[in-house]
Amino acid sequence: MCPDATIAWAQDVSGNAVATASFSGKTDTLRIESRVELEHTGNPWPIFNIAATALNFPFFYSNDDRADLGALAIQQYLDPMGRLQKWARSFVRDSTPDTLELLKAISQGVSEALQYEVRESEGTQTPNESLDRGWGSCRDFAVLFAEAVRSLDMGARIVSGYLYDPQHRATGSAGSGSTHAWAEVYVPGAGWINFDPTNRSIGGFNLVPVAVARDITLLMPVSGSYVGVADAFTGMEVEVRVT
């Protein structure tokens, strides 16, 4: 029997919708079901109208943009020896490279540095751990890319959602609605640009975003507390269906 819940909706600091469910009775099963109907109009060959001041790297955000980006432009993982920044700067091949081409090169560099693996263990590797292992899941790809971009003083955020791939051709695809993670970079004029380093793609035409955050640990789809005996939990199933 599934329990009835009292649900309160709110928004977090990033504008994501958050539902808090409270239960009053006992149960032997918890089932969380979410249904959404959407129209996806992503362009597989997008054109980005980047501001003239940001066409080439390095560029500088306006004071307002810098203030609003805040921690999104600051590395979230310790890099005391500057290893990640040195790795990111290896993609800066001349004095003023094209900004978009530089970001594409970093995304491709992540894909070349890591081999994809389905990793169901909890947590995310640090960027340097990913570079050391040479393996990672989509969330490890996204974090490495975002941190590399931040080391170059650009704002980035992590996105959690779904990879729409009915042909099952994309890396990380386990069906037409696979859970997925990628990153967005803020470029003046163009705004937030999607980068999926797992698939070396840009623009997000096959990506369905659900939530964005500064750090991937803030994107847990379900979290909460439980009261009961320690060995009561016997299993969990997750199913995504696209019709």
The CA-atom distances, in angstroms, between 119 and each of 139, 172, 187, 237 are 10, 11, 31, 16
Alpha carbons within 13 A on the beta-carbon side of 177: 12
- Other CB atoms within 10 Å distance of the CB of residue 161: 19
Per residue in 153-180, pLDDT (tens digit) is 999 999 999 988 777 777 766 666 788 9
Q: Tell me, what's the pLDDT at 58?
A: 96
Residue 213 pLDDT exceeds 80: yes
Looking only at the bridges linking them, the beta strands covering 135-136 and 115-116 are: parallel
Domain ranges in the chain are 52-219
Range with the poorest average pLDDT among 73-87, 93-107, 156-170 = 156-170
**DSSP codes, 62-77:** -HHHHHHHGGGGS-SS
CATH among 3.10.620.30, 3.40.720.10, 3.40.50.720, 3.60.15.10 for 52-219: 3.10.620.30
pTM over 0.75: yes
Question: Phi-psi region for residue 150, left (φ > 0), alpha (ψ -120 to 50) or beta?
Answer: alpha
Rounded to the nearest integer, the mean pLDDT of the chain is: 90
| 158 beta partners | 183, 213
CB 61 within 8 Å of CB 74: no
The CA-atom distances, in angstroms, between 145 and each of 18, 36, 111, 114, 118 are 26, 29, 9, 11, 18
Identify residue 205 by its one-letter amino acid code.
F
> What whole-number distance in Å separates Cα of residue 164 and Cα of residue 196?
13
Q: Which residues touch 129 (CB under 8 Å, ≥6 apart)?
A: none
